[in-house]
């Protein structure tokens, strides 16, 4: 049962919570070991919350998942994990996460609770509304980024909010496009909201979101006060364009963690991170 629980909380998707560390990097506190304690603890809190939400979502969608070509293999949908045991574990995990969030500070606690409520409401209600579903997913990443700032007591940059939102929206649209192509004519039966989307519509949304993200990130580099941060622009743009290439040529985008399986994207991300750290702390 422990093995099935671990699979159900999706640890391979916890990378989404890495956005929590953006605040400590861009606030020039990367070398502040004391703040890293709170940042890592905050990361753990959001991993616990997101893992619990995955379990609750699997319980809610158990019947639909049984008919999905991939999701039917999940522990709860396949019957390998008793939904009642999974629910008890999720509740305990949520309680522990909220308690630890309270120990960090009140603002982080509020952001953690807001994140949980938003994503939980999404799982039972908001995911059935076209476009709203994409906005809620993206907002979840923004809350993560804000929570990371609250955890270490630094100001939240508006550039952090807009760039996090647009990047998350960009990836969410790519995922919807992949689902639409994967499920084909059965898309509506597996996820009713997919009937409201089309590949042409999603492609236009990707174009708009990409343009807004490029402009926002570029403006951030111009006004950040560190002029050499503009050197990161080519690597950021390459990663975006490489993702779009894979979406259209190889039907990439089903799971955002696939980003870490493409050498071109991984290479650009590593260079971007190293260059950001060098510019912010070395120049």
- CATH of residue 20's domain is 1.10.357.140
Whether 167 is covered by a domain: the verdict is no
d(CA 214, CA 43): 27
Average pLDDT over residues 144-166: 90
Whether 209 is covered by a domain: the verdict is no
pLDDT tens digits, one per residue of 5-63: 878 888 888 888 999 999 898 888 888 889 999 999 999 999 999 999 988 888 887 77
pLDDT value at 144 more than 90: yes
Cβ burial of 249 (10 Å; 0-12, 13-18, 19+) is exposed
Buried residues in 179-188 as b, exposed as e (16+ CB within 10 A): bbebbeeebe
| Confidence label for 123 from pLDDT (cuts 50, 70 and 90) | confident
31 versus 65: which is more confidently predicted?
31
d(CA 250, CA 99): 44
Whether 243 is covered by a domain: the verdict is no
Average pLDDT over residues 92-101: 95
Whether 142 is covered by a domain: the verdict is yes
Average pLDDT over residues 72-90: 81
Cβ burial of 2 (10 Å; 0-12, 13-18, 19+) is exposed
Whether 253 is covered by a domain: the verdict is no
| Confidence label for 126 from pLDDT (cuts 50, 70 and 90) | confident
Whether 139 is covered by a domain: the verdict is yes
Whether 210 is covered by a domain: the verdict is no
Backbone angles phi, psi at 68, to 5 degrees: -90, 135
pLDDT value at 216 more than 90: yes
pLDDT tens digits, one per residue of 128-137: 889 999 999 9
Whether 23 is covered by a domain: the verdict is yes
Domain count for the chain: 1
pLDDT on residue 166: 95
DSSP secondary structure, the chain, as one string? -HHHHHHHT-GGGGGGGGGGGHHHHHTT-TT-HHHHHHHHHHHHHHHHHHHHHHHHHHHHTHHHHTTSTTGGGSHHHHTSS-HHHHHHHHHHHHHHHHHHHHHH-HHHHHHHHHHHHHHHHHHHTGGGSTTHHHHHHHHHHHHHHHHHHHHHT-PPPHHHHHHHHHHHHHHHHHHHHHHHHHHGGGHHHH-GGGGG--HHHHHHHHHHHHHHHHHHHHHHHHHSS-GGGGGGHHHHHHHHHHHHHHHHHS---SSGGGGGG-HHHHHHHHHHHHHHHHHHHH-
d(CA 49, CA 113): 9
pLDDT on residue 187: 58
pLDDT on residue 75: 79
d(CA 20, CA 185): 38
Give the domain range for residue 27: 2-156
| Confidence label for 3 from pLDDT (cuts 50, 70 and 90) | confident
Is the separation of the CB atoms in 240 and 210 below 8 Å? Answer: yes
pTM of the model: 0.87
Residue that the structure tokens 């159900």 belong to = 8
């Amino acid at each position: 049962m422990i093995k099935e629980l671990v699979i159900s909380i999706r640890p391979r998707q916890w990378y989404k919570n890495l956005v929590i560390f953006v605040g400590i990097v861009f606030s020039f506190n990367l070398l502040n070991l004391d703040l890293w304690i709170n940042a890592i603890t905050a990361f753990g809190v959001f991993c616990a919350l997101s893992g619990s939400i995955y379990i609750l979502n699997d319980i809610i969608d158990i019947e639909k998942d049984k008919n999905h070509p991939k999701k039917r293999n999940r522990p709860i949908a396949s019957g390998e994990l008793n939904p009642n045991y999974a629910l008890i574990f999720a509740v305990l995990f949520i309680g522990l996460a909220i308690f630890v969030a309270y120990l960090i500070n009140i603002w982080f606690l509020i952001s953690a609770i807001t994140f949980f409520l938003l994503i939980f409401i999404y799982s039972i209600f908001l995911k059935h509304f076209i476009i709203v579903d994409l906005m809620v997913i993206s907002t979840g990443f923004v809350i993560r980024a804000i929570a990371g700032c609250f955890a270490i007591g630094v100001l939240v940059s508006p550039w952090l909010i807009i760039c996090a939102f647009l990047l998350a929206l960009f990836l969410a649209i790519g995922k919807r496009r992949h689902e639409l192509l994967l499920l084909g004519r059965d898309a509506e039966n597996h996820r009713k909201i997919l009937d409201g989307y089309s590949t042409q519509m999603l492609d236009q949304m990707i174009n708009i979101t990409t343009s807004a993200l490029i402009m926002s990130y570029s403006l951030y580099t111009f006004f950040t006060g560190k002029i050499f941060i503009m050197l990161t622009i080519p690597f950021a743009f390459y990663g975006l364009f490489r993702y779009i290439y894979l979406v259209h040529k190889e039907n990439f985008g089903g799971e955002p963690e696939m980003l870490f399986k493409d050498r071109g994207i991984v290479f650009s991300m590593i260079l971007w991170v190293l260059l950001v750290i060098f510019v912010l702390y070395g120049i």
